[in-house]
Amino acid sequence: MNAKMWKEIGEVFRLIGSTGDGCRCVLLIGLGKGFCSGIDIADPSLLIDDGDNDEMQVDVARKYLSVRHKILEMQRAFSMIEECAVPVVAAIHGSCIGGGIDLICCADVRICSPSARFGVREVRIGLAADVGTLQRLPKIVGHGSRIKELCYTGEDFYADEAEKLGLVSRVSESEESLFPMAMQICQNISRNSPVAVCGTKLSLNYSRDHSVREGLDHIAAHNAVALMTEDIPISLSAASLGSNAGAQFASLLPHSKL
């Protein structure tokens, strides 16, 4: 994860699903031996970019403001994944370390292969994770003793424990079956009404950070408009047609793009 990647990923996820592109779901994967090995510590512009400013070199307050601004930019970039208009499915193989945990915690659904290895490694290099892990991970798996232990020690944990904790919902039977499993999940999501899926994502994310009462008010306001969608009568009609309902419903909806 270098500075260029961080800038571009925020922009990409800001645009996906918001420009009438027909996208119903995003599959997020890593190429190579693993999903993500974390921050590129060889990129000097990732956090510190003092340039030739002599005042920045000696003034702690100015340096603080510069670094804080960069951290906030990095946080906003990953928040665009969470706020993406459509669901994001992360398929994790091999290592998912440091910033990789920040990244997958922003996804809606996470699955992994048997080889997956996770680690909140920031403490091992003298940092507290600052791009979302300490805020999102406990809301995904709970604030229990084990998750605090993992964050304090930086020790690795593996696919079976990730599933037990609830960080991932499934572990594929083999490395080769991870991608087909992920594609099937994306296709299952994409078969449903995009209005319903979008509303569901909005409500789940909102309700996570608000009271039940506030969540109920939020979905009532959303569905007051969303219930007018033509997808509902089409869906009800298709359901009454029998076993071929799913295929017939899908054929009546606009072409979906994954």
Q: What is the CATH number of the domain that holds 64?
A: 3.90.226.10
* Catalytic residue check, 39: yes
| pLDDT per residue as tens digits for the range 126-183 | 889 999 999 999 999 999 999 999 999 999 999 999 999 999 999 999 999 999 999 9
| Cα–Cα–Cα angle for 249, 252, 254, rounded to 5 degrees | 115
The whole-number pLDDT of residue 246 equals: 45
Select which of 10, 34, 98, 99 is catalytic.
Answer: 99
Residues 99 and 203 in one domain: no
Mean of the pLDDT values across residues 94-116?
97
Q: What is the DSSP string of 140-167?
A: HH-S-HHHHHHHHH--EEEHHHHHHHTS
* Catalytic residue check, 99: yes
Higher-confidence position of 244 and 222 = 222
Give a yes or no: residue 22 inside a domain: yes
Residues 177 and 208 in one domain: no
The whole-number pLDDT of residue 256 equals: 41
Select which of 102, 119, 147, 189 is catalytic.
Answer: 102
* Catalytic residue check, 40: no
Q: In what order do the strands lie in the sheet with 95-97?
A: 95-97, 117-119, 156-158
Give a yes or no: residue 122 inside a domain: yes
* Predicted TM-score of the model (pTM): 0.84
Give a yes or no: residue 40 inside a domain: yes
Residues 231 and 171 in one domain: no
Has residue 202 got a pLDDT over 70? yes
Select which of 97, 122, 147, 189 is catalytic.
Answer: 122
Q: Mention every residue, 6+ apart, whose C-beta is less than 8 A from residue 106.
A: 78, 79, 81, 82, 88, 132, 136
Give a yes or no: residue 257 inside a domain: no
Report the chain's terminal Cα–Cα distance, integer Å: 25
Q: Which domain holds residue 74?
A: 3-188
Give a yes or no: residue 57 inside a domain: yes
Give a yes or no: residue 258 inside a domain: no
Of 37-51, 194-208, 212-226, the poorest mean pLDDT is in 37-51
Residues 113 and 137 in one domain: yes
* Catalytic residue check, 10: no
Residues 131 and 201 in one domain: no
Higher-confidence position of 229 and 24 = 24
Give a yes or no: residue 246 inside a domain: yes
Select which of 9, 10, 17, 39 is catalytic.
Answer: 39
The whole-number pLDDT of residue 257 equals: 42
Select which of 130, 156, 161, 231 is catalytic.
Answer: 130
Contact predicate 160/118, CB 8 Å: no
* Catalytic residue check, 101: no
Work out how many domains the chain is built from and give that number. Answer: 2
Residues 108 and 203 in one domain: no
Residues 248 and 160 in one domain: no
The C-alpha atoms of residue 144 and residue 136 are separated, in whole angstroms, by 14
CATH of the domain at 235: 1.10.12.10
Residues 113 and 210 in one domain: no
